[in-house]
Amino acid sequence: MWFEVVTLVTLTLLLIVDLLIVTRRPHEPSMRESTAWVSFYIALPIVFGILLLIISGGQASGEFFAGWVTEKSLSVDNLFVFVIIMNQFRVPRRYQQSVLMFGILLAIVMRGVFIVLGALAINQFAWVFYLFGVFLIYTAAKLAQQQASGPHVDEKFDSPLLQRIGRRFPVSADYDGIKFRTVVDGRKMLTPMLIVFVAIGSADLLFAVDSIPAIFGITQEMFLVFTANVFALMGLRQLYFLLGGLLERLVYLSAGLAVILAFIGVKLVLHALHENNLPFVNGGEPIHVPQISILVSLGFIGATLAVTTVASLLKTRRDKVRLR
C-alpha cells in the first residue's frame, strides 16, 4: 500500500510540474530539451518496473512492462491523430505544447474512468473478457484495413460535433493565444483553439475505448493498469517534438498495432474460456485451454514493434531513394 501511495503522489507531482512548465512558458521545445525529457520519461517506468520486481516479484513487473509497452505503442498512434488535428487547424507551433498537455491530461482522466468501469465489470461479470477479446479483434481488423488503404496521417479528422459548433457559433479566422473566445471588430467570437480542444477530446475518448480492453488483456490489477497508462502518456508531449517527421515514417505502425491487439484479443478469449461461467458455453463449466504467459506476451509485443519499426524505416528509405 505504501508503494502505491508514493507512486501515485509522485506521478501527480510530475504532472503538476509538467503543467506549470507549459502554462508559464508556452514555447516550442528544442531538440535538446525534448531529448532530455523523453529520456527521463522512458527511464522512469523502467526504474518503476525494477522496483516492482523487487517488491512484488516477476509476475507484477512483467505485467507492468507488457502493459506499458502496449499502451506506449497505442499512445504513439494517438500522436498521429494529434498531428492531423494540429495540421488541419494550423495550430501555431508555440501553442502546440498547451494543446498536447490538455490532450494528455484529458486522456489520463478518461482512461482512469474507463479503468474503474472496466474493473467493476470484470469483477462482477467474467463474460466481459469475451466482450473485450472480440472488441480487440474487431479493432485489429479495422487497423489492418486502415493500413491497407494507406497511411492515416493523410486523413482528415472531423466529427458531427465539430460541424455543429461551426454552424451554430461564429469562429474567428485567427488564434488569440490559447483563449477560447476573442473579440473581432467588436464582435465576440469563438477561436479555433476551442475547436482544436474539442477534436483532441473526441480523439482521446476513442483511444480510451481501444486502450483499456488492451491493458486488461495483460493484467487485471488496477494499480498496474493505471500506472502503465500514466507512464505511457507522460512524455508524449516532448516525444511529439522529438520525433517530428519520423512519425510519418512509421508507415507500418497500424499493421503492428493490429497484430498486437489481435494477439491480446485472442489471449482474452482464451482467458474467458478458462474462467467460463456462461451457462450456454460448455454447460457453464470452465474450458481447459492453453494460457499465454506474461513472458510470451512481452516477447511477442516487443518483437512485433521491433519488426514494425525496422520495416517502416526500410520502406521509407527505399521510397526516398526511388524518388531521387
Determine if residue 234 is left, alpha or beta; phi over 0 gives left, psi from -120 to 50 gives alpha, anything else beta.
beta
**Structural domain containing residue 74:** 2-323
Cα 299 to the center of its chain, rounded Å:
20
Residue 292's pLDDT is 82
Cβ proximity of 200 and 99 under 8 Å: yes
Residue 22's pLDDT is 63
Three cell numbers, residue 128 = 466481459
Sign, CA torsion 290/291/292/295 = negative
Q: Give the whole-angstrom CA distance, residue 134 versus residue 269.
A: 7
Three cell numbers, residue 312 = 517502416
Q: State the burial class of residue 111 (Cβ atoms within 10 Å of its Cβ: 0-12, 13-18, 19+).
A: buried
pLDDT tens sequence for the chain (324 residues): 788 888 889 888 888 887 777 666 666 667 787 788 888 989 999 999 999 999 988 889 999 998 898 888 877 777 777 777 777 778 887 788 778 778 888 888 888 888 888 888 877 776 788 888 888 888 888 877 766 655 444 344 455 556 666 667 777 777 877 788 888 777 788 888 888 888 888 777 777 777 778 888 888 888 899 899 889 888 777 777 776 656 667 778 778 888 888 888 888 888 888 777 777 777 778 788 887 887 888 888 889 888 988 888 888 888 777 766
- Residue 187, SS3? strand
Cβ proximity of 70 and 231 under 8 Å: no
Q: Which amino acid is at 275?
A: E
Residue 51's pLDDT is 93
Beta strand pairing call for 181-184 and 187-190: antiparallel
Residue 171 is given by DSSP the state: B
Counted domains in the chain: 1
Which position has the grid cell 490538455?
A: 102
Residue 159's pLDDT is 54
Residue 76's pLDDT is 75
DSSP assignments along 272-306, one per residue: HHHT---TTSGGG---------HHHHHHHHHHHHH
Residue 49's pLDDT is 92
Q: Give the whole-angstrom CA distance, residue 68 versus residue 255.
A: 19
Cβ atoms within 10 Å, residue 41: 21
